[in-house]
Every structure is written in structure tokens, then in C-alpha cells.
């Protein structure tokens, strides 16, 4: 397989309180800083692109945070169909699976998934399930796996709802600060487990604003972060409340669980995804969110540290190029695209597509048939 590797170095220094850092200065920066700490009230944007921005916290208005990182981007001449499943399986220790479009669609299990997972476990492979869907907590996803007849432990599941709470813990977000949630129950449950105070969520789904002359909407000045995820009860009240917190509360973080354009609420069609909610808040605040879900490397770094896994020994399996495959590539993993979800073969092979997986196949159960043909 022909390949071309380009290494790009980028650095950024932004003063505390800088209102409008130039996007051109940081548009090529990828990855999250796992050593950020929340120690004062003045935020500094230390990296941002179309996928996320990340923040440090200064103890002085005059201090600066400088971030420099070498990033590697690999582009391939053309996508390669998976022809030898055994070879790929033997080359890695861990498989990370996206869920929607890979394991299930809506509430319907994709054919051949149980047998495929059993095969990989029989070969001693570690299986991890990562989803950008923030509507459920890890525990709730565990119940969904069980309902679908899959034996998956809670410790093997990583949802973006969990990632949001984990990120706050990683930067020592103060426990006396509150989190305003635009999203569903999964985020609330993970914040509660992490010991954080929160408001919003489904409770604000029925609230309306009576726009009388001179009306001023109040908001909690102790909100230190706004977390935005997929929200089926998204409304103008939530947009305005989140906007006020981000724009008026000093140092308030804008965290997105993901920026997925579409999602699979049912197996009949695609539905508007969490990116539509994030986009509304981005538009009203003119701020780039810090994205903790795919393709940000935060969850990949977390998984590698949690399980002691070498990233070169991981294969990321997903149905989306701009989240799943980019997530694996950003993390330095092998990547396998399945055509059972969002991405079609024509989209993959389009000259306009710049994200190429190592391999592609129709669905993960192809591991079974391709294994049979190569014996």
C-alpha cells in the first residue's frame, strides 16, 4: 500500500483573557492536553480546531500557557478492502468498536455481531466500545448491551457522557462550581457519579421564555462549565441560558460531547445529531467548543492509560470517517471502516474524501467469512 506521511509542528501561545485568538494560529493543532488544571478564574485557550478547543487556567493575568505539539497525519493513495481478517486480528491486542452503525442501528442489533465478538474474545482480544452518543451513562449502555443479548462489562464501555465528566476531573474542575447541561440523562448521571453539581438537562426541556418588553433572563453566575450533548428536548430557553453562562461567567468552559452531524435514532433513516445542538451554542457565543468525544484524542489517551494499552496495538472500528476513523488515526491506531452505518462506498472512494482508513469492509461479521476464505 502506497502511503505518504507528513509531519506538522505547531505551537500556540495565548494570553489570559484573550477574547478572539486567531483561528489560523491553531487550526492544525490536534489532541487534548491531559495535564490541564483549573486553579483560577481566567481561562486560556491553548488549542482549538474545528473539532475542539482546550483550556488551561492561570493564577495570574500576566501568565501565558504555551502549547507545542508535533502531529502526524497519514494519507493513503486509496482505501484497501479487508481481504485477510486473521492477519488484522493477529496484528493487534485491542479492538475499539463504535456502537451506532457498527454494533446496532437504533435498537436493532446488526447481523453477525454476537458471533464476531465471541470470535475475537476466543482469540484473547480486549474489546472496548466507544460511542459519541451521550444520552446514556455507562451503566445504562450496559443494560442496552444486555437487552440485545451481548455480554459486555460496564468497564468496557466508554460513552461521551462519561468522557465529559472524566475531562472535568482531569483538569481538577472545582466541586463548588456548577455545570449547566444541554443534553439528556446520561450526562447528568455521569456528572453525579463524579461528584459535580449540575442544573439543566431534561428538566429545562419544557421551559419557555416570555419575551415581554424589558425582560431580562437571569442565570446562575456560579456555572463554570456548559456541557452540550444530543438533546431531544432542545429549545430556545436552553440556548439562551447556556449562552449567558458562557459569555458572562468568567472562565466558563464550553464542552461538547461530540459534533456528529447525524445519528441513528431508528434503523429507518438518519436523524440530526448532537452537532446541531453544539452548532447553535457555537453560533450564539462565537466560541469553539472543547470536544471530548471522537475524534478528539482525549478518550483514546484515557483508554490507553486505563488499560495500559499500546496505541499501535489497537484497531479502531467504526462507520464514520470524520469521527471514528479520524479518532483512530489521531491516536496512532490501525483503522477499519465498516459500511453498515453512515459511510457508503461511494463516499469513501470519492476524490473529495481525504480521510482513508487502513481497511474497509461491509460489516464486522465479515471477520467470520473472510477468516473462512483465508484458511
Q: Crossing angle, helix 298-307 and helix 160-170, to 10 degrees?
A: 80
β-bridge pairing 42-48 and 53-58: antiparallel
Is the model's pLDDT at 344 over the cut of 70?
yes
Is the model's pLDDT at 296 over the cut of 70?
yes
On whether the CB atoms of residues 229 and 273 are closer than 8 A, the answer is no
Is the model's pLDDT at 46 over the cut of 80?
no
How does DSSP assign 113-146, residue by residue? HHHHHHHHHHTT-EEEEEE---SS-HHHHHHHHH
- Evaluate the omega torsion of the peptide bond into residue 212 and state whether it is cis, within 30 degrees of 0: no
Q: What positions carry a catalytic annotation?
A: 98, 100
Sequence spans of domains, the chain: 80-132+295-368, 161-291
pLDDT per residue as tens digits for the range 200-222: 999 999 999 999 999 999 999 99
Categorize the per-residue pLDDT at 314 as very low, low, confident or very high, splitting at 50, 70 and 90.
very high
Q: What percentage of the chain exceeds 90 in pLDDT? A: 72
Mean pLDDT, range 81-93, rounded to an integer:
96
Categorize the per-residue pLDDT at 38 as very low, low, confident or very high, splitting at 50, 70 and 90.
low
Classified by CATH at the fold level, domain 80-132+295-368 comes out as Rossmann fold (3.40.50)
Dist. CA 219–CA 244, nearest whole Å: 7
pLDDT per residue as tens digits for the range 349-367: 999 999 999 999 999 999 9
Identify the top-confidence range among 76-80, 132-136, 370-374: 132-136
Look at residue 231 in the predicted model and tell me its pLDDT.
97
Grid coordinates standing for 2?
502506497
Dist. CA 161–CA 228, nearest whole Å: 10
Residue in 269, 285, 219, 21 with CA at minimum distance from that of residue 277: 285
Dist. CA 86–CA 119, nearest whole Å: 11
Query: Matching CATH topology for 80-132+295-368 and 161-291?
Result: yes
Dist. CA 253–CA 62, nearest whole Å: 20
Residue with cell 468525544: 293
Burial of 353 (0-12, 13-18, 19+ CB in 10 A): middle
Dist. CA 119–CA 369, nearest whole Å: 12
Pick the CATH number of 161-291 from 3.40.50.300, 3.40.50.1000, 3.40.228.10, 3.40.80.10: 3.40.50.1000
Grid coordinates standing for 143?
443494560
Categorize the per-residue pLDDT at 371 as very low, low, confident or very high, splitting at 50, 70 and 90.
low
Look at residue 77 in the predicted model and tell me its pLDDT.
54
Amino acid at each position: 500500500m502506497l502511503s505518504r506521511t507528513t509531519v506538522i509542528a505547531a505551537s500556540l501561545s495565548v494570553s489570559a483573557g484573550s477574547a478572539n485568538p486567531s483561528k489560523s494560529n491553531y487550526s492544525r493543532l490536534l489532541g487534548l492536553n491531559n495535564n490541564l488544571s483549573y486553579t483560577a478564574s481566567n481561562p486560556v485557550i491553548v488549542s482549538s480546531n474545528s473539532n475542539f478547543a482546550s483550556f488551561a487556567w492561570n493564577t495570574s493575568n500576566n501568565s501565558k500557557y504555551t502549547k507545542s505539539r508535533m502531529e502526524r497525519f497519514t494519507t493513503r493513495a486509496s482505501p484497501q478492502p479487508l481481504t485477510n481478517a486473521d492477519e488484522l486480528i493477529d496484528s493487534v491486542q485491542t479492538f475499539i468498536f463504535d456502537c451506532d452503525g457498527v454494533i446496532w442501528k437504533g435498537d436493532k442489533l446488526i447481523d453477525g455481531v454476537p458471533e464476531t465478538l465471541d470470535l475475537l474474545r476466543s482469540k484473547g482480544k480486549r474489546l472496548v466500545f466507544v460511542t459519541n452518543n451521550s444520552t446514556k451513562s455507562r451503566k445504562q449502555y450496559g443494560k442496552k448491551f444486555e437487552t440485545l443479548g451481548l455480554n459486555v462489562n460496564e468497564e468496557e464501555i466508554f460513552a461521551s457522557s462519561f468522557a465529559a465528566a472524566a475531562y472535568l476531573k482531569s483538569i481538577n474542575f472545582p466541586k463548588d462550581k456548577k455545570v449547566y447541561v444541554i443534553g439528556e440523562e446520561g450526562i447528568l448521571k455521569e456528572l453525579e457519579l463524579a461528584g459535580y453539581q449540575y442544573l439543566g438537562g431534561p428538566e429545562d426541556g419544557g421551559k419557555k421564555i416570555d419575551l415581554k418588553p424589558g425582560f431580562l433572563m437571569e442565570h446562575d453566575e456560579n456555572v463554570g462549565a456548559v456541557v452540550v450533548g444530543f438533546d431531544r428536548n432542545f429549545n430556545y430557553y436552553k440556548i439562551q441560558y447556556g449562552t449567558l453562562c458562557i459569555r458572562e461567567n468568567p472562565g466558563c468552559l464550553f464542552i461538547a460531547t461530540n459534533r456528529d452531524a447525524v445519528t441513528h435514532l431508528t434503523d429507518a433513516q438518519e436523524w440530526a445529531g448532537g452537532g446541531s445542538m453544539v452548532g447553535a451554542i457555537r453560533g450564539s457565543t462565537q466560541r469553539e467548543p472543547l470536544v471530548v468525544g471522537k475524534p478528539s484524542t482525549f478518550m483514546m489517551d484515557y483508554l490507553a492509560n486505563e488499560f495500559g494499552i499500546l496505541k499501535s496495538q489497537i484497531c479502531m472500528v467504526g462507520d464514520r470517517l470524520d469521527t471514528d476513523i479520524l479518532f483512530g488515526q489521531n491516536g496512532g491506531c490501525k483503522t477499519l471502516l465498516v459500511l453498515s452505518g453512515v459511510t457508503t462506498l461511494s463516499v469513501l472512494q470519492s476524490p473529495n474524501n481525504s480521510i482513508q482508513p487502513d481497511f474497509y469492509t461491509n460489516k464486522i461479521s465479515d471477520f467470520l467469512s473472510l477468516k473462512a476464505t483465508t484458511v
